[in-house]
Amino acid sequence: MQNKKGDTLFFRTPPSVLGYAAVGGKKESEGPLADGFDVLDTDTTFGEKTWEQSESRMQAICAETALKKSGVTPKELDCLFAGDLENQCTASNYTMRDLPVPFVGLYNACATMAEGLGLAAAFIAGGLAQRTMALASSHFCAAERQYRFPLEYGGKRTPTSQWTATASGGVVLGSVGGPPYVKAVTFGRVIDYGIKDINNMGAAMAPAAAHTLLTFLKDSGRQPEEFDRIFTGDLGAVGSTLLEEICEKEGVKLTNHSDCGLLLYDREQQQVDAGGSGVGCSASVLCSHILPQLKSGKLREVLFIATGALMSPTTFMQKESIPGIAHLVLLGSGK
């Protein structure tokens, strides 16, 4: 049995991050993290005819690049965990047509990258696999027409709304290898504070992020300031403030918190309102910004908490509230 306390799994032999890749579109190529991306397609179509095919192609490029950087072939992968935002997760499904690997399809909205990374690490730590991969993506154009309005409609955005990233992140893990390491994972619970505004998903997800973070701190007996940084994704400006307020009410002051939704874009220059969002936002920030700094040793130990809003356009029209979820992964430059 792994060392399990509360909801958190502490891995006795932390799996190694063998490699990772981040792929993005035009807006991501103009953002502050562009240099950390492996591939940027300023056309955003990735040479495909539909936005859905573009997303699959982007994800395939990401998987291929991450594998290449890891020195791992698809044949050597025991299992691949992937998900996205498209209805029926088709971006991942169609990517997997060309990747002959046992496939576990996931859906936890924008928490999918941490969910997949947690599962991929757990499988290795539990002796269920030697090499695994976590993969996730979102595409602005596919998401806008599915969740809000087709781009051609020219709908007006609210100031609390977030910008769905056109991005993909992929991480290859192995039982043997150098840093960074996945040291622990807390799979989150579904938390619903009754938020019903589909243009304010940061507020819907903040309580879940707080719940998972507070659970991990309790399970580990550690303090927030012990970590170089606590990354959430993607609460945006509104949700980040809310997270800090909820934590403070519980007696936990966050002084080293950054949100992936606020890192990926320059909010003022790039007109993304409350920040970035989408499965690909936290996935690509992880692979372009967080993991490289852990690999170089610039960051020693961080928490990566991806957050998801679990509604659909149907439940929104039915006036249901928006449940949130957040999964946490503890990453370190040492074991």
Q: Which residues bind a copy of itself (CB under 8 A)?
A: 1-2, 4, 7, 9, 50, 52-53, 78-79, 83, 86-90, 93-94, 96-97, 99-109, 115, 119, 122-123, 125-130, 146, 186-190, 192, 310-315, 318, 320, 323, 325
Residue whose CB is less far from a copy of itself, 270 or 312: 312
Question: Shortest approach of a copy of itself to residue 76 CB, angstroms?
Answer: 13
H or E element that contains 314: helix 313-317
Nearer to a copy of itself, 34 or 104 (CB): 104
State the nearest-atom distance from the C-beta of 189 to a copy of itself, in Å: 6
DSSP string, 15-63: PEEEEEEEEE-HHHHTSTTGGG-SEE-TTSSTT-SSHHHHHHHHHHHHH
In whole angstroms, what is the distance from residue 61 CA to residue 48 CA? 13
Q: Using the minimum distance from each CB to a copy of itself, give the nearer residue, 36 or 118.
A: 118
Name every residue whose Cβ is closer than 8 Å to that of residue 222 and which is 6 or more positions away in sequence. Answer: none
Nearest approach, Cβ of 45 to a copy of itself (angstroms)?
14
Q: How far is the CB of 296 from a copy of itself (least distance, A)?
A: 30
For residue 40, give Cα distances in angstroms to 25, 134, 250: 5, 20, 41
Beta carbon nearer to a copy of itself, 195 or 299: 195
Q: Are 10 and 218 in contact (CB under 8 A)?
A: no
Contact indicator for 15, 175 with CB cutoff of 8 Å: yes
Which CB, 101 or 285, lies closer to a copy of itself?
101
CB of 255 to a copy of itself, least distance (A): 28
Residue type at position 292: P
